[in-house]
Amino acid sequence: EPEVTQTPSHQVTQMGQEVILRCVPISNHLYFYWYRQILGQKVEFLVSFYNNEISEKSEIFDDQFSVERPDGSNFTLKIRSTKLEDSAMYFCASSEGWHTEAFFGQGTRLTVV
Amino acid sequence: EDKVVQSPLSLVVHEGDTVTLNCSYEVTNFRSLLWYKQEKKAPTFLFMLTSSGIEKKSGRLSSILDKKELFSILNITATQTGDSAVYLCAVEPTIQGAQKLVFGQGTRLTINP
């Protein structure tokens, strides 16, 4: 069964460092998303992406965040200068259509120390 | 502000019992409501509901939406230990434009043998 894959599964980084989280969406999906879940809190929307550009972003997705589809398969989330409060599980998701069900990856646990 | 509230937050039952999980929402626009099961990391898709009163069913799981009273329930009959998970309810609060799910805090379901 096709699935969204994310790497790495866990990343530890020092405050102020840049991190890139990687995702391979399901191959025939055209719409991509990043969500995050701080430990013990709700899953929160970060950004949606279609046709090589951001469609919508939340207030959380400020200038330190960026997304990119560098080739035909990968979708990345870059956090430029990490802060302690960026520690969370980051989920990539993809969907076939704009308003069809989104399928989530296993997540990358980011720990900023 | 769009809001999704799930109840109960936690539920412990014995194998074989039937459980009902609740999700209520307040959103400015409504397109769909989704249920996900989160066992360890990735939320896995269960149901997408868009119309009131039409039950969706998959094996022992079923769900229904009431757009007038702004809630949905997820029923699990003849529960098994493998049903133990956090069940997430999410609402898509957009008619047009990009999908961005608003999640509830989840119900942690524990099935004891």
SS3 B16: coil
Question: Hey, where are the domains in chain B?
Answer: 3-112
Query: CATH number, domain at A97?
Result: 2.60.40.10
Residue B25 with chain A: CB contacts under 8 Å: none
Distance from CA of B45 to the nearest CA of A (A): 7
Torsions phi, psi for A94 (to 5 deg): -145, 155
Q: For residue A53, give every residue at least 6 positions away whose Cβ sits within 8 Å of its Cβ, in sequence order, or none.
A: none
State whether A43 and B103 contact (CB < 8 Å): yes
| Start-to-end C-alpha separation, chain A | 36
- CATH for the stretch B3-112: 2.60.40.10
Element (H, E) at B92: strand B85-92
Element (H, E) at A24: strand A19-24
Number of domains comprising chain A: 1
Position A1 confidence tier, pLDDT thresholds 50, 70, 90: confident
Nearest CA in chain A to B34: A101
Torsions phi, psi for B81 (to 5 deg): -60, -30
A7 touches chain B (CB under 8 A): no
For β-strands A103-104 and A88-95, DSSP reports them as antiparallel
Tokens 């302690």 map to which residue? A84
| Cα A41 to Cα A47: distance, rounded to the nearest angstrom | 18
Residue A58 with chain B: CB contacts under 8 Å: 100
Distance from CA of A73 to the nearest CA of B (A): 20
Position A103 confidence tier, pLDDT thresholds 50, 70, 90: very high
pLDDT along chain B (113 residues), means of 10: 95 97 93 93 92 93 95 97 97 80 96 95
| Cα A65 to Cα B40: distance, rounded to the nearest angstrom | 26
**A23-47, pLDDT tens digit by residue?**
999 998 999 999 999 999 999 999 9
Residue B44 with chain A: CB contacts under 8 Å: 104
Domain that holds residue A41: 5-112
| Cα B83 to Cα A83: distance, rounded to the nearest angstrom | 36
Nearest CA in chain B to A40: B105
| Cα B113 to Cα B96: distance, rounded to the nearest angstrom | 45
